[in-house]
Amino acid sequence: MKSETALLTETALITGSSSGIGFHLAMEFARRRHALVLIAPVASELQKIASELKTVGALFVRTIAKDLEKPEAPQEIFDELSSDRIYIDILVNNAGFGHRGKFWEIPIEHEISVLRLNIEAVLRLTKLFLPPMLQRRQGRILNVASVAGFEPGPLFAVYHASKAFVLSLTEALATELEGTGVTATALCPGPTDTDFFQKSGMLHARMFQKANLMAPQDVAKAGYEGLMAGERVVVPGVANKIIVFSRRLLPEATLAKMTGKLYVDTSDGTRERGDKELQAAQRG
């Protein structure tokens, strides 16, 4: 069994770590004195966050500014770390985004971008960092999926499909990894109060305006604890657990209609969340 000291010194690589759930996951690891490698597109944002993480306990923070939509980025990250003999014990595939709208109205280039980040980057990074974990017979993988992965999502179709892929892949991988010393965990949050809604064009959607959004800190804490416990699937929040369980029992057509209502535009004067709430979500 691993000692407590060994657990605390495991090095974690976290993608999409400059905001949202990724930032708060980095905070969770930092507070427990892990070494960190942070991946996001903007170098200046990463450097600022690295300084903050060191103040809360991170043993070491390495930042690498890369756009994971570019197919060569994962290999470049792996090669840079290997050259510097930085070995990754925990891979956190968190980076992801989506576009709201009718499928036929969204440019194909936008949807391909979603697939490149939400799926291709996850595949490439896992293919690169998993084999060394298997050789050392220790390691952990946390893939951030979503409750969206359990259901079809009209008006957010490709995002839901991408998260279904991540969820299915992680659950299959968890079985393949049994007895290897390496675990795979899927973190499946529900609607979370972050800047994801702004980036995906959902500020006026019913989900953002009306739903009971979970705090990203709580999602990150549940994800970290589930990962370290070796759980296969983590669904933070009692309400989300109930939703996931109940929706598995519903007909697909009914499920799709229910989910689609969450993405309906409410910009008809019924907005309940405004600039104040949006600003609070920027760092989340």
**Is beta strand 60-65 parallel, antiparallel or unpaired with respect to 35-40?**
parallel
Q: What pLDDT shows up at residue 153?
A: 85
Q: What pLDDT shows up at residue 220?
A: 97
Q: How confident is the model over 47-98, as pLDDT tens digits? A: 999 999 999 999 999 999 999 999 999 999 999 999 999 999 999 999 999 9
Catalytic residues: 159
DSSP 120: I
Task: For residue 38, give the nearest of 121, 130, 30, 123 by alpha carbon.
Answer: 30
Domain boundaries, the chain: 4-283
Task: Let me know if domain 4-283 sits in CATH 3.40.50.720.
Answer: yes
Contact 171, 215 (CB under 8 A): no
pTM beyond cutoff 0.85: no
**Residue the block writes with tokens 């971008």:** 113
Question: CA-based angle 4:61:81, to the nearest 5?
Answer: 95
Name the stretches of the chain with pLDDT < 50.
1-6, 197-198, 200, 202-210, 268-271, 274-282
